[in-house]
Amino acid sequence: MKAPIFALVDCDNFFVSCERIFRPDLTDHPVVVLSSNDGCAVSRSNEAKKLGIPMGAPAFKYQELFKQHQVAKFSANFELYGNISRRITELLTTVTPRIEIYSVDESFLDLSELPIADYAVWGHSVRAAILQWTGVPVSIGIASSKTLAKLASNRAKKLPELGGVLNLINNPDTDMYLESVAVQDIWGIGRQLAPKLRAEGIDNALKLSKMYPKLAKQLTGIRGRQTVTELDGISCFPITLGSQRPKTILRSRTFGEDTNSSHIVESALASFATTAAFRLRRSGQLAKQIGIFVDTNRFKPGFRRWTKNMSYRTPIADTGQLINDAVSMFGEIYNTGVAYHRAGVWLQDFVPDDQLQIDIFGNTNIHEHDTSQKRMQAIDSLNERYGKHTVHYATQDLARQWQPKRKLCSPRYTTDLNELPKAKIVHTTNK
DNA sequence: TCTGGGGTCCTAGGACCC
DNA sequence: TCTGGGGTCCTAGGACCC
């Protein structure tokens, strides 16, 4: 077996880059993409970063700066980003089928078995192909472990002279690159572990790579020890091929406005249960547990959260049943005096939908289960064919007022025929 | 006035059992 | 008032990620 070699392909400022595909006028211009309710900056162009807008910056605190520098703002348009993301991973799949889609904007590739003479040259050609075919700039890191590949792509992003690609395989400058990465910027080292390590005098990746594994385990737990080993060039985290089935599914939103209306909250919960159940069915699973939560505003004094959950003897994926249970659980905790700010539905404790166990007390109603499965299949295929909300449950319609605000949303350029980009034909005449 | 959403894995401690 | 030791399983919460 050959020594493992990984590439991490990481899109630059992904959401901003997606918006720029259709707005070339915004190249070199500061751009931010805002979260739900246009609340926080969740993606920033390099120009916006230079203005000092941090990740997660609350938009209302930066309005002045936005105005002063004419920062272009967009509400997050996940249909667009999801579509661009799929185009990129399809392209990468033609490079090698041994790919792990790590997130919407990052994929690991296993290069061990590929006949590549020069990894840096290979990286630059992949980068150029993605830019040409999708318009999205990426950074590529190549190394013998995932953690080092992450670190390499981070350097490739930050150091312009690298042209977006850094290979650390047999690279004599590896120690220099490790030394230039602060301990809190290492994959797997977060807000809690970084100060602990700094207190031990370990403030960069090179020092961490030389830490005694025993001490690392003691100080940072098993994952921290593995991170140390990975930085030392020995792979601990293998590539995960194929699509993984989720272990929990959560759907939640902050409301457009706080509300104390039970109808509005019920309508929101019904929508969350619907999308969660659809995701559950698409993953080929049934759930044994459903839970709900409702929150007040966490930034206001007296913040509170209420939760409720229930288990099913026979696991289900039936939207109607899940809506019913979500709404009735809310009925048990509803309080007319509360300003509800946010709510959510989660599903967990899954089993594959082809392995329904008959419980020993004879409580499993196979007939009801089969009827439900067929009903759901019919609804899903109608909605796939004729559009998302063709068939839905009435509870969702009781009130739509809970929906978050998205005042600055770009068109769904690539996924809705009515919102295609318009081309302007310019006639030129030769004299 | 205005502060996102969706995940995974690990660990400590309690419940329970022998 | 004293009243073992060890194992497993489960769960809540912590820490991390994008």
**pLDDT per residue over A97-114, tens digit each?**
999 999 999 999 999 999
Residues A197 and A164 in one domain: no
**What is the residue-averaged pLDDT of chain A?**
93
**pLDDT tens digit sequence for A229-259:** 999 999 999 999 998 999 999 999 999 999 9
* pTM of the entire predicted model: 0.93
> Same structural domain for residues A430 and A385?
no
Where on the phi/psi map is residue A255: left (φ > 0), alpha (ψ -120 to 50), or beta? beta
Long-range contacts of A384-392 (CB under 8 A, 24+ apart): A392/A274
* Residue A402: inside a domain: no
Nearest nt to the A344 alpha carbon by C1': B5
Mean pLDDT for the stretch of residues A71-95: 97
Copy the structure tokens of residue A73.
């703002």
> Same structural domain for residues A221 and A315?
no
Query: Quick check: is A236 in a domain?
Result: yes
Q: Which residue is nearest to nucleotide B1 (CA to C1')?
A: A60
Q: Give the confidence band of A427 by pLDDT, cuts at 50, 70, 90.
A: low
Q: What is the pLDDT of residues A382-422, one digit of tens each?
A: 888 888 788 888 877 666 789 999 999 988 888 878 888 87
Q: Of the candidates A225, A243, A261, which is a domain's last residue?
A: A243
For residue A180, give the amino acid letter.
S
Q: Is the dihedral of CA A278, A281, A285, A290 positive or negative?
A: positive
Q: pLDDT-derived band of residue A358, with 50, 70 and 90 as boundaries?
A: low
Q: Which tens digits make up the pLDDT trace of A147-159? A: 999 999 999 999 9
How many Å is the Cα radius of gyration of chain A? 25
Residues A300 and A316 in one domain: yes
Same-domain pairing of A48 and A114:
yes
Nucleic strand C near CB of residue A248 (< 7 Å): no
A188 CB-to-strand C distance under 7 Å: yes
Whether any strand C atom is under 7 angstroms from the Cβ of A281: the reply reads no
Q: Which CATH number does the domain housing residue A416 bear?
A: 3.30.70.270
Q: What's the CA–C1' distance between A139 and B6, in Å? A: 24
Is residue A310 domain-resident? Answer: yes
Report the distance from CA of residue A252 to the C1' of nucleotide B6 in Å, as an integer: 9
Same domain, A209 and A268: no
- Strand C–CB A193 distance below 7 A: yes
Task: Indicate if A176 and A160 belong to the same structural domain.
Answer: no
Instruction: Characterize the bridge pairing of strands A72-75 and A31-34.
Output: parallel
Strand B and A252 CB separated by under 7 Å: yes
Domain containing residue A345: CATH number = 3.30.1490.100
A4 shares a domain with A103: yes
Q: Report the pLDDT value the prediction gives residue A431, as an integer from 0 to 100.
A: 39
What tens digit of pLDDT does each residue of A267-309 get? 999 999 999 999 999 999 999 999 999 999 999 998 999 999 9
A335 domain residue, yes or no: yes
Last residue of a domain, one of A196, A224, A243: A243
Task: Tell whether A128 is covered by a domain.
Answer: yes
pLDDT at A405: 92
Q: Give the Cβ contact number of residue A190 at 10 Å.
A: 9
Phi-psi region of A29 (alpha: psi -120 to 50; beta: other; left: phi over 0): beta
Same domain? For A261 and A232 the reply is no
Bigger pLDDT: A393 or A356? A393
Domain check: are A13 and A141 in the same one?
yes
- How many structural domains does chain A have? 3
Same domain, A42 and A67: yes
Residue A360: what pLDDT? 55
Last residue of a domain, one of A243, A260, A289: A243
A342: nt with nearest C1' to CA = B4
Q: Where residue A182 sits, what CATH number does that domain have?
A: 1.10.150.20
- Is A239 near strand B, with its CB below 7 A from some atom of it? no
Is the same domain home to A285 and A422?
A: no
Whether A203 is covered by a domain: the verdict is yes
For the CA of A251 and the C1' of B9, the distance in angstroms is 20
Residue A13 sits in which domain range? 1-171+407-431
Chain C bases having any atom below 7 Å from a protein CB? 14-18
